[in-house]
Amino acid sequence: MSDRQRPGDELLWDKVRQARRMSFEDKFLAGPRLFDLACRLMRDGIRMQHPDADEAEVERLLRERLAIQRRLEARRS
């Protein structure tokens, strides 16, 4: 089975083709939108892991996770 024949790969390739058709402006604006989406998903995960956390605690944990990610990325550089 080739790499492009695995389940779900066609969806990925559709996304790649779609991204290639985007204008520079759309690509530029996609970064902040993707970051916002990632933060929403992380908040949802935090709420699932910490169901009793209030919004301030969820935001604190989100900032903590983002700081960890920045440190990991800095080590790779």
d(CA 16, CA 27): 12
DSSP letter at 4 equals G
Residue 5 has pLDDT above 70, yes or no: no
Contact 9, 3 (CB under 8 A): yes
> Domain limits of the chain?
24-76
User: What is the arithmetic mean of pLDDT over 18-44?
Assistant: 94
Is the whole-model pTM more than 0.85? no
Q: What angle, rounded to 10 degrees, do the helices at 55-76 and 24-49 form?
A: 120
Residue 9 has pLDDT above 90, yes or no: no
d(CA 35, CA 13): 21
d(CA 64, CA 15): 31
